[in-house]
């Protein structure tokens, strides 16, 4: 990870405040942190389909009421969409089956409470922004942008009934004297690719001035930070997915949370060598 090229790939009208995405078979599946829809965008014909994740879905939901879907992962033809856990109404996980076109939901309140209790994370500090599932282990990426700055990876066996959680802290680089904190992550082979943003706020609830974003890699086996690059000084990138990979470079797609009510999303491509 020595050089990068960041470019605007295309814009999608009809989606606002994009917070996560998955690329699969010419389609982008996108979530928004102030919407209760899953968006299915076909790249080849630019068709946008809205999939309801809950009864009576809405867009541009008021901040105090929104489910705050921040994490999306793909496993076994199913998409898993998770709320951030930062308030009581942000504790939902929705599973969407790409084959049956059906979804189911589960309340994660008890699990999030166990995480906070076991790892000594305050109620107002929990802020899950990324989700990876691999070899029966769930990895949650805690954005430590609260006053305690508890930024790191929470993990547990997929048998969530055990509810035994571990935490690996990560002190990420600073941008303009503000630490970058996790905003998303994916797994490519045995390497975690992550996004992190620096935002001038000490709250998991209130937004602040965006100071930039970095992309980096963590070795899954050792849980050690390997490399990172600052890719912007004015974007808050919140979504990350694999696009293409060769022996010499990797192409990733990114989305940006613009923190506005405008229903427009820009998809970026970053090429890393």
- Averaged pLDDT for residues 126-130: 96
Q: pTM score, two decimals? A: 0.94
The pLDDT score that the predictor gives to residue 224 is 97
SS3 annotation, the chain: CCCEEEEEEEEEECCCCEEEEEEECCEEEEEECCCCEEEEEECCCCEEEEEECCCCCCCCCCCCCCCCEEEEEEECCEEEEEECCCCCCCCEEEEEECCCCCEEEEECHHHHHHHHHHHCCCHHHCCEEEEEEECCEEEEEECCCCCCCCCEEEEEECCCCCCCCEEEECCCCEECCEECEEEEEEEECCEEEEEEEEEECCCCCCCCEEEEEEEEEEECCCCEEEEEEEEECCCCEEEEEEEEECCCCEEEEEEECCCCCCCEEEEEEEEEC
Whole-number percent of the chain with pLDDT over 90: 85
Read off the pLDDT band of 9 (50, 70, 90): very high
Residue pLDDT, tens place only, 100-112: 999 999 999 999 9
The pLDDT score that the predictor gives to residue 145 is 86
Residue pLDDT, tens place only, 11-69: 999 999 999 999 999 999 999 999 999 999 999 999 999 999 999 999 999 989 999 99
Residue 246 · residue 226 · CB < 8 Å: no
The pLDDT score that the predictor gives to residue 208 is 74
The pLDDT score that the predictor gives to residue 201 is 66
Around 219, how many Cα atoms within 13 Å sit in the side-chain half-sphere?
5
d(C-alpha 222, C-alpha 127), whole Å: 24
- pLDDT > 70? residue 207: no
- Averaged pLDDT for residues 204-213: 76
What is the pLDDT of the chain when averaged over all its residues?
A: 93
Read off the pLDDT band of 205 (50, 70, 90): low
Which comes out higher in pLDDT, residue 200 or 260? 200
The pLDDT score that the predictor gives to residue 147 is 78
- Averaged pLDDT for residues 141-157: 90
Read off the pLDDT band of 146 (50, 70, 90): confident
The pLDDT score that the predictor gives to residue 1 is 80
């Amino acid at each position: 990870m020595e050089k990068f090229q960041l470019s605007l790939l295309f814009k999608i009208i009809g989606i606002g405040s994009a917070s996560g995405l998955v690329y699969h078979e010419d389609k982008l599946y996108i979530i928004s942190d102030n919407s209760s829809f899953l968006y299915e965008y076909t790249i080849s014909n630019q068709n946008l389909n809205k999939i309801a994740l809950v009864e009576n879905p809405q867009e541009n939901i008021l901040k105090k009421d929104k489910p705050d879907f921040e994490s999306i992962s793909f496993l076994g033809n199913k998409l898993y969409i998770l709320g951030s856990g930062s308030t009581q109404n942000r504790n939902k996980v929705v599973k969407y089956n790409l084959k049956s076109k059906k979804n189911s939901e589960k309340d994660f309140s008890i699990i999030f409470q166990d995480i906070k209790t076991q790892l000594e994370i305050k109620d107002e500090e929990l802020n899950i922004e990324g989700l990876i599932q691999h070899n029966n282990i769930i990895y949650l990426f805690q954005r430590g942008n609260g006053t305690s700055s508890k930024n790191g990876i929470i993990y547990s066996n997929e048998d969530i009934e055990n509810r035994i959680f571990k935490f690996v802290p990560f002190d990420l680089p600073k941008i303009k004297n503000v630490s970058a904190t996790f905003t998303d992550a994916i797994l490519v082979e045995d390497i975690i690719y992550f996004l992190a943003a620096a935002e001038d706020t000490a709250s998991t609830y209130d937004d602040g001035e965006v100071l930039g974003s970095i992309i980096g890699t963590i070795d899954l086996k050792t849980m050690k930070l390997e490399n990172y690059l600052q890719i912007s000084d004015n974007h808050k990138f919140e979504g990350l997915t694999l696009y293409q990979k060769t022996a010499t470079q990797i192409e990733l797609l990114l989305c940006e949370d613009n923190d506005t009510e405008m229903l427009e999303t820009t998809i970026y491509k970053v090429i890393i060598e």
